[in-house]
């Protein structure tokens, strides 16, 4: 990857994107389009089809027909594996194109995007391709004249609603296990970051995925997302995004066919630093990266920094030093550490949280404002706010932007109490040289993922899922397969 190649891809015009239904590009039924504005400069990048409920119904019908006739579910595991492996190869072969397209669409810095988006997606698809022929049924230990068998069958049609922050990575977390198990899928990408995911879906067809097995409809969530949620023909719905939308999807399930709904709803993750941390300078550098990469638009971002009072001032100064060394700028430059905020709406929301924090007694140590406004893009200086009490808005509400709230604590018990004082429970971390304390923190802090002396980087071999209002179910690892299968008992008298 070199800057010249990136600049050449940046210069290429992006054609309008249509729906992908039954293996073909299809315009919106009323020919409506949505403008795609690049967060890099605020300029029009391209358009996507502005889907209607009828478009979503058509895509779901295509997926249902494909599932029922067995063109994918009926293929032997070795055949499905071959297609998925070819798809992973194509994603890797087109990695830079996909990454640049995605950055132009959502603003993630290219150094992160190339690994976290096509790199991660290809690895995830390959992981589930290799796993699919190792999912066995079971024989029950029952009476000698009975054969009790447990079959694992695909659920049918899966609806997947994907967020804008990491569309390829999170999309692959849903698509990999769902398709590996023989299901058909309908994708609904985010309005503000559809392009790379739509391109990746096109590559699936090139790899040999039969038409109708993977469909994708772009458009507004309140229209096509609602149609998916209310459909009587979607068997499982998976979603990553906001709590408000997650609640509506559960309501849609209750109002329709009681489809299973799996939600990953973000968090307010605590990063807890004890005075006996093995390397405070390293902890400070990792803490800055754990909140400010991708402009804080990461569901597991360590947005609450809890620091033992005896080292508070020293440690905050180290984090500020690491933060100010992170260059904010054009996300398609290789020397940029922090790219653009996804949209002007998100930028305004982020700045509103800073104002709210100040009104509640917080103090801005660094950042706190919009930067590079002359570019027309959506950029924000990484922001550290101290004096954040456990009940403050900045400690309780997810910003989903580059804003770090700092809270001191006196004892381990107080740290645990503060860490568990929100409605969320997605991720967390603790920095300590005390092995017993490390194990206590893993057990006592209520999260789906708990890091010790690091933050982030957990790979596809382990699950990602939350507790509380961070959602249910898990992405990644073999455990994710459980969302996309039905268990069927066969009870046979011999």
Which CATH number does the domain housing residue 392 bear?
3.40.309.10
Indicate whether 464 belongs to any domain: no
Q: What is the DSSP string of 41-88?
A: TS-EEEEEE---HHHHHHHHHHHHHHHHTTTTTTS-HHHHHHHHHHHH
In percent, the amount of the chain with pLDDT more than 90 equals 99
Note whether 98 and 235 are same-domain residues: yes
pLDDT of 119 reads 98
Q: Tell me the per-residue pLDDT of 240-254, one tens digit each, with 9 for 90 and over.
A: 999 999 999 999 999
Distances (CA, A) of 393 to 295, 316, 388: 19, 20, 9
Is residue 50 assigned to a domain? Answer: yes
- What is the average pLDDT across 463-489? 97
Query: pLDDT value at position 314?
Result: 98
Q: Would you call 2 exposed, middle or buried from its count of C-beta atoms within 10 A (0-12, 13-18, 19+)?
A: exposed
- 463 inside domain: no
Distances from the Cα of 45 to the Cα of 101, 102, 295, 329, angstroms: 10, 11, 21, 19
- How many angstroms separate the CA atoms of 434 and 290, rounded? 22
Answer whether residue 1 shows pLDDT above 90.
no
The β-bridge partners of 449 are 427
Q: Indicate whether 317 and 255 sit together in one domain.
A: no
Flag whether 233 is in a domain: yes
Question: According to the model, what pLDDT value does residue 457 have?
Answer: 87
Range of the domain at 83: 3-265+471-491
User: Do residues 296 and 353 share a domain?
Assistant: yes
The CATH number of the domain where 203 resides is what? 3.40.605.10
190: confidence class by pLDDT, cuts 50, 70, 90: very high
466 domain-assigned: no
| pLDDT above 90 (res 432) | yes
User: Does some domain include residue 465?
Assistant: no
pTM here?
Answer: 0.97
Whether residues 361 and 229 fall in one domain: no
Residues 415 and 482 in one domain: no
Please check the confidence at residue 77 and state whether its pLDDT lies above 90: yes
Confidence of residue 162 (pLDDT cuts 50, 70, 90): very high
491 torsion bin: left (phi>0), alpha (psi -120 to 50), beta (else): beta
CB of 455 closer than 8 Å to CB of 285: no
Q: Clarify whether residues 352 and 482 are in a common domain.
A: no
CB atoms within 10 A of CB 413: 11
- Distance (Å, rounded) from C-alpha 401 to C-alpha 456? 17
Counting the structural domains of the chain, the total is 2
The crossing angle, in degrees rounded to 10, of helices 167-180 and 120-131 is: 10
Q: What is the pLDDT of residues 291-340, one digit of tens each?
A: 999 999 999 999 999 999 999 999 999 999 999 999 999 999 999 999 99
Kindly state whether residue 22 falls inside one of the protein's structural domains. Answer: yes
Domain annotation covers residue 289: yes
Helices (H) then strands (E): counts for the chain: 16, 21
What DSSP designation does 360 have? Answer: T
Please indicate, yes or no, whether residues 303 and 190 belong to a single structural domain of this protein. Answer: no
Neighbours of 274 (CB within 10 A): 24
- Provide the mean pLDDT of the chain: 98
pLDDT score recorded for residue 295: 98
Do 309 and 400 lie in one domain? The reply is: yes
pLDDT of 188: 98
pLDDT score recorded for residue 50: 98
On whether both 216 and 311 belong to a single domain, the answer is no
Alpha-carbon distance of 98 to 83, in angstroms, equals 20
Catalytic residues: 264
User: 484 and 429 in one domain?
Assistant: no
444 and 483, same domain (yes or no): no
Residues 337 and 191 grouped into a single domain: no
SS3 160: strand
């Amino acid at each position: 990857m070199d800057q010249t190649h990136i600049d050449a891809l940046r210069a290429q015009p992006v054609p309008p994107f249509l729906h992908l239904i039954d293996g073909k590009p299809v315009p919106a039924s009323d020919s409506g389009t949505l403008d795609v504005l690049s967060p890099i400069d605020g300029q029009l990048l391209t358009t996507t089809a502005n889907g209607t409920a009828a478009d979503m119904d058509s895509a779901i019908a295509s997926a249902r027909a494909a599932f029922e006739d067995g063109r994918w579910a009926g293929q032997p595991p070795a055949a499905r594996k071959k297609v998925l492996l070819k798809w992973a190869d194509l994603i890797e072969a087109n990695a830079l194109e996909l990454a640049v397209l995605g950055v132009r669409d959502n603003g993630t810095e290219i150094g992160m995007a190339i690994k976290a988006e096509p790199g991660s997606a290809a690895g995830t698809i390959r992981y589930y391709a290799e796993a699919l022929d190792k999912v066995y049924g079971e024989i029950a230990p029952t009476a000698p004249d009975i054969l009790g068998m447990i079959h694992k069958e695909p659920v049918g049609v899966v609806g997947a609603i994907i967020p804008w922050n990491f569309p390829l990575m999170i999309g692959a977390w849903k698509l990999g296990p769902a398709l590996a198990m023989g299901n058909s899928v309908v994708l609904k990408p985010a309005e503000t970051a559809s392009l790379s995911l739509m391109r990746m879906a096109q590559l699936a067809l090139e790899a040999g995925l039969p038409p109708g097995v993977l469909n994708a409809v772009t458009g507004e969530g309140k229209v096509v997302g609602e149609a998916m949620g209310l459909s009587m023909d979607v068997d499982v719905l998976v979603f990553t995004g906001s709590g408000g939308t997650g609640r509506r999807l559960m309501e849609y399930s209750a109002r329709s066919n009681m489809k299973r709904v799996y939600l990953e709803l973000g968090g307010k993750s605590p990063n807890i630093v004890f005075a006996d941390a093995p390397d405070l300078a390293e902890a400070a550098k990792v803490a800055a990266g754990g909140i400010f990469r991708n402009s804080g638009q990461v569901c597991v971002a360590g947005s609450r920094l809890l620091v033992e009072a005896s080292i508070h001032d020293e440690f905050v100064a180290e984090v500020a030093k690491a933060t100010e060394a992170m260059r904010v700028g054009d996300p398609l430059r290789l020397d940029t550490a922090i790219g653009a905020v996804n949209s002007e709406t998100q930028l305004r929301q982020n700045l509103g949280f800073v104002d709210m924090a100040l009104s509640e007694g917080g103090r801005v140590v660094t950042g706190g404002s919009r930067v590079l406004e002359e570019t027309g893009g959506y950029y924000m200086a990484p922001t550290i706010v101290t004096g954040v009490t456990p009940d403050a808005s900045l400690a309780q509400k997810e910003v989903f932007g580059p804003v770090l709230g700092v809270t001191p604590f006196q004892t381990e018990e107080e740290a645990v109490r503060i860490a568990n004082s929100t409605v969320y429970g997605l991720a967390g971390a603790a920095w300590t040289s005390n092995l017993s304390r490390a194990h206590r923190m893993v057990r006592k802090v209520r999260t789906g993922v708990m890091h010790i002396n690091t933050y982030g980087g957990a790979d596809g071999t382990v699950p990602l899922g939350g507790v509380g209002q961070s959602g249910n179910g898990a992405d990644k690892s073999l455990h994710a397969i459980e969302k996309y299968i039905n268990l069927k008992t066969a009870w046979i008298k011999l």
